[in-house]
Every structure is written in C-alpha cells, then in structure tokens.
Amino acid sequence: MKKAVLEFERPIFELEQKVEELRQFGKSNDVDVEQGVQLLLQKIEDTRKQIYDNLSAWQNVQLARHPERPYALDYIQYMCEDFLELRGDRRYANDRAMVGGFAKLNSRPVMIVGQQKGRDVKENVLRNFGMCHPEGYRKAMRLMQLANKARVPIVCLIDTPGAYPGIASEERHVGEAIAVNLRDMFSLTVPILCVVIGEGGSGGALGIGIGNRVLVMEHAYYSVITPEGCAAILWKSQTGDTGVSPVAQAAAALKLTSHELLKLGLIDAVIPEPRGGANQNPELAKQYVRDAIVKQLDELAKLEPAQLKAERYAKFRKMGAFTTTP
C-alpha cells in the first residue's frame, strides 16, 4: 500500500527516496554506499526534528486526520481482552460510526465506547467517516447507563470531525441526542475517562466527552468547530487577514492543539506520541494510550461514587473565563 505523505512531510519523503535509490545503486553496481546512506539518514533525522518540533496548529490538525493513524477499534483490540461489542440504540438502528461494549482492560472490567472511521472508501461509507447519527449517541448513552448499573468504569475514545449534519440526522434530532448525553453523563456515578485519539470536533466529540478526566493525544485536536468550519464563517476569500490561508489562521486562533488545551485547563493531560505522529509507530502509540488509561483508572478507582459525580460536575463548571460589569 502506498504511504500517505502530507505536504509538509514531503522533504522527509524525498530524502527517504534518495536513501532507497542510493542503496539500489550500490546493490546493482556492487559499490559501497554506506557512508552516503548514513549521511542521508542523519539528514532525515535532523529534518524530522526540525519539522515535527515546529508544527503549526493546522499541520497538527492534518496529523490528527492522517489516514494511517490508529482508530478506536485498533486501540480496543490492542488494549482489551474479551471485547464484546453491543449494537443498537433500541429505538431506531445501529450506528456503525459508534462502537462500544464490555471488555477487560488490565484485568479490570470496563465499558469502552468510541467513534470509528474507515480505512478505505467502502469502510468509510459504512462508518459514515466517523460522523455519528443520533442513534449513535443514543447507543453510547444506553451502554454508559448499562455500565453504571454494572458498576464498571467507562472509557470513551473520541475521534470525529463532528456529528453528521445531514437531513436524516436532523430529522431524528441529533441536537437533542447530544444534549441528553451531556446531561445524563453528569448523573453517572462510575468513573468516566475520555481520550481524544484523533479529531475532537464540536458537539460530535463532546457527546461522549463528559469525563472525570479528559486526555488528548499529542497530535490530536479538540475544538468547538473544525478549522474549515470556522474559516467558512469568518472569511470568504482564499487568504486570511494576514496573508495566511483562512483555515490555517482559524486553526491557530482556535487554540485546539493538545498543549494549548492543557494551558487553558480544558484537559487533564497530554498523551505523548512517537515523533511524527501515531501513524509513524502505531504499536508504540497504542502502548502510550493504554498506559495512560490504566494510570487514570487506577486513580479514579479510589474515589467514591458521590465524589466522582461531584468532581465531574465541578470540572466542567469551572471552565472558561468570565468578567462582570456593574
């Protein structure tokens, strides 16, 4: 399968091609090219560091959307034992963009819920590109309430550009479905841990995002709106107010990167990723996510049900800065 290369990653890709060409030349001509290869490999490492240590907000969003990045089911299969997927909202249908069920994580029973994208066109159509219909959020809430009855913690894996905005979704009241989830997740008395593993777009992400702890992967993003949506509202031309593309300008203004969110106090921790993003080393990225989840669940297990509920409510109530005038 052809490797997906983002535009800002092209200098690295071109250097890697030169390494391959040099090795092929040495092999076909029986020439020692190792010294040249080592120089190019060092150049690649230096270029990686220069690019990935200085990513713009928009470049970070592009990494969060990388088609080779691990998705929810990839993490579930790696982290969990005995995953039993539960389907349907018991009202309308089963939304394949939302997956969930009971599992064991580090020998601890959990309810794991996540938004799932597809790897190819066929699967993306099946998963609706990770954009849930109302029945997806109602299924998630049904599973969370079941977890509350069973007294097991809930883990939510967030990865969506937003809830599906089509006519069918509106006809079945997607706004109401998300609003009910926001309300009812505050009433649950088991630990809720939310992890943004890729895109965290708008109410589509927040619909399963009310947790005692909210973690964001290093190159994921979490925002009230996608950069494209923000740019479409604020700018009508191809260039923004400062000559930068409107989408890039919107991404910077939204403060949607993991480190900006941590500074603002909107999340509790950043989960590190391999240099270049989770797509560069999926197995290591999965290990980082698993370790972070296990650590947080161990800490939350020490709290009483009433404490969990009160802490979750207080956490979201204190978000934001307000001023009052006489």
21 plus 79 within the same structural domain: no
Q: What is the mean pLDDT of residues 136-162?
A: 97
Domain containing 281 equals: 61-317
Amino acid at 209: G
- Alpha-carbon gap, residue 183 to 178, rounded angstroms: 9
Q: What is the mean pLDDT of residues 97-105?
A: 96
How many CB atoms neighbour CB 238 within 10 A? 8
Predicted pLDDT at 67: 92
Distance set, CA 5 to CA 21, 172, 197 (Å)? 18, 38, 20
Q: What are phi and psi of 195, to 5 degrees?
A: -130, 120
CA-atom Rg of the chain in angstroms: 22
- Confidence label for 322 from pLDDT (cuts 50, 70 and 90): confident
Is 1 a domain residue? no
Of 225, 176, 213, 201, nearest in space to 115 by CA:
201
Alpha helices (H) along the chain? 10-29, 34-52, 57-64, 72-79, 121-127, 134-150, 167-171, 174-185, 202-206, 227-234, 246-254, 258-263, 282-300, 305-317
Total domain count, the chain = 2
Of 193, 187, 210, 194, nearest in space to 306 by CA:
187
Predicted pLDDT at 1: 52
Of 201, 164, 177, nearest in space to 64 by CA:
201
Q: What is the mean pLDDT of residues 126-130?
A: 94
Predicted pLDDT at 75: 96
- Alpha-carbon gap, residue 4 to 10, rounded angstroms: 10
Least confident of 227-236, 259-268, 283-292: 227-236
Q: Are 257 and 56 spatial neighbours (Cβ–Cβ below 8 Å)? A: no
Predicted pLDDT at 324: 79
For the chain, the helix, strand and coil percentages under 3-state DSSP, each to the nearest 5: 50, 15, 35
Q: What is the mean pLDDT of residues 262-288?
A: 94
230 plus 313 within the same structural domain: yes
158 plus 282 within the same structural domain: yes
- Confidence label for 2 from pLDDT (cuts 50, 70 and 90): low
17 plus 94 within the same structural domain: no
pLDDT digit string (tens) for 57-96?
Answer: 999 999 999 999 999 999 999 999 999 999 999 999 999 9
Of 213, 189, 204, 199, nearest in space to 268 by CA:
213
- Alpha-carbon gap, residue 54 to 291, rounded angstroms: 26
DSSP 129: G
How big is the chain, counted in residues?
326
CATH number, domain of 191, equals 3.90.226.10
Q: Are 197 and 205 spatial neighbours (Cβ–Cβ below 8 Å)? A: no
Q: Which residues pair with 81 in a beta bridge?
A: 104
Predicted pLDDT at 116: 97
pLDDT digit string (tens) for 191-239?
Answer: 999 999 999 998 999 999 999 999 999 999 999 999 998 998 888 754 5
- Confidence label for 5 from pLDDT (cuts 50, 70 and 90): confident
Amino acid at 259: H
79 plus 49 within the same structural domain: no
**Is beta strand 213-217 parallel, antiparallel or unpaired with respect to 192-201?**
parallel
For residue 313 the two structure tokens come to 């409510």
pLDDT digit string (tens) for 17-29?
Answer: 888 888 888 888 8
Share of the chain above pLDDT 90, in %: 76
pLDDT at 251 over 60: yes
73 plus 137 within the same structural domain: yes
135 plus 212 within the same structural domain: yes
Mean pLDDT of the chain: 92
23 plus 154 within the same structural domain: no
154 plus 290 within the same structural domain: yes
Q: What is the mean pLDDT of residues 37-47?
A: 88
183 plus 88 within the same structural domain: yes
Q: What is the mean pLDDT of residues 101-124?
A: 95
**Is beta strand 98-105 parallel, antiparallel or unpaired with respect to 80-85?**
antiparallel
Q: Which of 36, 54, 72 is the last residue of a domain?
A: 54
pLDDT at 240 over 60: no
Predicted pLDDT at 243: 56
Predicted pLDDT at 237: 59
Distance set, CA 192 to CA 154, 214, 260 (Å)? 5, 9, 23
Predicted pLDDT at 31: 75
Q: What is the mean pLDDT of residues 49-54?
A: 91
